Amino acid sequence: MGICEGRTVIVTGAARGLGRSYALAFAAEGANVVVNDIGTSLSGEGRDTSAADAVVAEIVAAGGKAVANYDDITDWDAAKRIVAAAIDAFGGLDVVVNNAGIVRDRMFVSATPEEWDATMHVHLRGHFCVSRHAVDYWRGVQKAGGKVDARIINTTSGAGLQGSIAQAAYSTAKGGIAALTLVQAAELGRYGITANALAPAARTRMTEGAFAEKMAAVEQGFDKQDPDNIAPTVVWLGSAESAHVSGCVFELEGGRITIERGWDLGPTIEQDAKWAPAEVGVAVDALLAKRPAPRAVWGS
């Protein structure tokens, strides 16, 4: 038996890249999988249901259980149908993996409101809508006397944790998802729900264009950028074994697993009096001298 035997999982954006790897890995560990994908381009345009169907066919051919869903994660009512698809097909829901996203790369000086809004809509609203309906379902189970052992697994990014040149909107959205995860973990534990986030680095449609040389597949040896490398941690986070882990952000690449320390308090100066504006500069310079150098913004 796999570590997710009998658990039911929704994976959004599951037709390609990381989402596909997650869906296949969950199924291989015994989970029932809802493969959600509307089949858009990298920028969020167009529709194609065949890619989700192909992942379902692959899971079923290997002896697993899966259904396809083509609802839009950003639509409130459609997101409810995604949750309902899991319940209708498999009798319940245990895990939501919020993986779907788009990217509209643009230097800040050239960014448009339309690109900004589209990026926020998919990443932030998409994470909200699906998780919110899932939480409604889980709270209902608990109120009816049932046991809840549920998981929300969100997707942030190195861009959201440290910034990325030409990705102001994407970085902002992904930073917001990391903060959302902390709030979900703090609020939802009482219902038997954990919330964690991933910052995965792997070969996908998003990364192949921006980091072509780094993301190139290797002919022999360990393929560090294979998206399948990320899936084992995601599957474990979706299992019953991870019930004690919540409010964490995991950076994952190849065989490396890192837990972020987040916005911790750094060097501090305090006095029992109001600062004069002219004094602040001296204090800040002293703090900067004590602060460890931060990681550079991607692309800088």
- 207 band by pLDDT with thresholds 50, 70 and 90: low
Tokens of 21: 């790897």
For this structure, is 224 an active site residue?
no
The mean of the pLDDT values for the chain is 93
| pLDDT per position as a tens digit, 89-143 | 999 999 999 999 998 899 999 999 999 999 999 999 999 999 999 999 999 999 9
Percent of the chain scored above 70 by pLDDT?
93
Of 22, 70, 137, 170, the catalytic one is 170
CB neighbour list of residue 27: distance below 8 Å, 6 or more residues apart: 33, 59, 62, 64, 65, 66
- 48 band by pLDDT with thresholds 50, 70 and 90: confident
Of 21, 131, 157, 239, the catalytic one is 157
Q: What pLDDT sits at residue 300?
A: 86
Q: Where do the domains of the chain lie, and which CATH numbers do they carry? A: 8-259 (3.40.50.720)
Q: What is the mean pLDDT of residues 190-216?
A: 75
In the block, tokens 């919110």 appear at 132
Residue 131 to residues 36, 47, 112, 114, 171, Cα–Cα distance (Å): 14, 23, 28, 25, 21
Q: What pLDDT sits at residue 223?
A: 83
For this structure, is 300 an active site residue?
no
For this structure, is 174 an active site residue?
yes
